[in-house]
């Protein structure tokens, strides 16, 4: 009976895919391939030495893991517990280490350690490669399986064996799991300036449900303090909810403005700012980006750049611009499948290209380490609003000061006329 259910599930998936997909004359019949798959399952159940591993569920899950993992690093089969964990990611808190993972050249890599989390406080850095988790090699571990191992009971210790390519150093980090709270808008302030310009600064750590609302409140406060221009810092921002990224753009753009479009095998789709948006924020903006700005942060940076609303300063972004659609399956599991790619308003592909800055500015390894260290608890300066050595932020401030001066000069000339 379970065997027939498995066949029906696979046939339904194939049929659903085939209904909307053109088939070439030379394409093999999916039913022939299913016959091969089911015959292999029969042989495994009949002859494999360890019969405890040959249940239909185990074999089906293994087959689905293999199918989706073979497509690209972002397509994955999620067992029920993995699917539940993914759904929790968009909420305000969860239990774990607080690191965002990606796969780079086949190696499990830390894209970004979230601030104020155990992983961040332990000193993990973007680009760190996870070689082992609690002594177990990650060589054949996909991202979802790795996340499952990193999460667990609050207070338990997890040992990560880390390779840091920048220093060629391999080191063990023992980190204690904690409840991870994820604030998205931080450090809203008026920057100190040698001139008379009042330049605001806001940092977005990721895009979750309340991000646009939090940003609007921070901007309102800065505007009441006389802010003339803004630095929007998206460095180390790994992304998050697409709708949140679009809403953030809506704080600076006209209603119904195209932010990003997707293109895949299904009809393309456009995402625009809300038609009810009433934002009047017209001051100059610089967006800071770096190699760890990914997904949602690339959408915001790409849109504001293409539409001439902001100047980009820093480094080319990560280049994660693909769309993953999650489809739940009858037993509580789900398939996460790459279905399209993101394009900026001017039709530039984000995936594997990233968004390039107008003004390139980089940090040395020591400067980057110092910048991240200054954001850790207990190491923040009470007298210095920002780290003293941040060439990327300095270039952003210089650009805005020049823009403000140009605007004021133009107004003087217009008044004289």
Q: Which residues are catalytic?
A: 295, 306, 320
User: Beta strand pairing status for 157-164 and 169-176?
Assistant: antiparallel
Cα separation of 122 and 372, whole Å?
Answer: 11
Half-sphere exposure of 226 (CA within 13 A, CB side): 4
How many CB atoms sit inside 10 A of residue 267's CB?
Answer: 8
Which position has the token pair 């591993």?
53
* Residue in 90, 91, 93, 84 with CA at minimum distance from that of residue 144: 84
Tokens of 163: 């390779």
- Decide if 201 contacts 283 (C-beta within 8 A): no
- Decide if 344 contacts 350 (C-beta within 8 A): yes
- Decide if 78 contacts 335 (C-beta within 8 A): yes
Cα separation of 178 and 181, whole Å?
Answer: 9
Tokens of 86: 């993914």
Q: Strand, coil or helix: what is 25?
A: coil
């Amino acid at each position: 009976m379970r065997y027939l259910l498995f066949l029906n599930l696979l046939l339904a998936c194939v049929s659903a895919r085939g209904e909307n997909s053109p088939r070439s004359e030379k394409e093999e019949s999916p039913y022939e391939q299913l016959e091969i798959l089911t015959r292999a399952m029969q042989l495994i159940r009949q002859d494999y030495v360890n019969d405890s591993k040959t249940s239909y569920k185990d074999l089906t899950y293994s087959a689905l893991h293999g199918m989706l993992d073979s497509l690209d690093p972002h397509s994955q089969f999620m067992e029920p517990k993995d699917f539940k964990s993914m759904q929790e990611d968009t909420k305000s808190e969860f239990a774990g280490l607080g690191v965002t993972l990606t796969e780079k050249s086949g190696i499990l890599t830390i894209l970004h350690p979230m601030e104020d989390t155990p992983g961040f406080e332990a000193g993990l850095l973007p680009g760190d490669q996870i070689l082992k988790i609690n002594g177990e090699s990650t060589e054949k571990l996909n991202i979802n399986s790795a996340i499952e191992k990193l999460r667990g009971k609050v207070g338990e210790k997890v040992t990560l064996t880390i390779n840091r390519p920048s220093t060629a150093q391999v080191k063990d980090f023992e980190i204690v799991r904690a409840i991870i709270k994820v604030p998205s808008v931080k450090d809203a302030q008026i920057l100190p300036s040698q001139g008379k310009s009042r330049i605001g600064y806001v940092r977005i750590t990721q895009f979750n449900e309340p991000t646009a609302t939090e940003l609007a409140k921070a901007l309102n406060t800065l505007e009441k303090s006389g802010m003339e221009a803004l630095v929007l810092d998206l460095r180390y921002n790994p992304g998050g909810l697409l709708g949140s990224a679009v809403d953030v753009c809506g704080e600076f753009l006209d209603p119904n403005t195209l932010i990003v479009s997707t293109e895949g095998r299904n009809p393309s789709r456009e995402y625009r700012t809300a038609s009810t948006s009433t934002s009047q924020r017209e001051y100059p903006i610089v967006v800071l980006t770096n190699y760890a700005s990914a997904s949602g942060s690339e959408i915001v940076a790409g849109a504001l750049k293409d539409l001439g609303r902001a100047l980009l300063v820093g480094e080319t972004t990560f280049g994660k611009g693909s769309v993953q659609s999650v489809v739940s399956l009858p037993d509580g599991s789900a398939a996460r499948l790459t279905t399209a790619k993101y394009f900026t308003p001017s039709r530039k592909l984000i995936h594997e290209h990233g968004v390039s800055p107008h003004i390139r500015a980089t940090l040395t390894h020591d400067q980057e380490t110092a910048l991240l260290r200054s954001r850790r608890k207990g190491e923040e300066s009470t007298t210095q609003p920002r780290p003293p050595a941040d060439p990327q932020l300095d270039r952003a401030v210089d650009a805005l000061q020049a823009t403000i001066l140009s605007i004021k000069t133009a107004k003087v000339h217009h008044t004289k006329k």
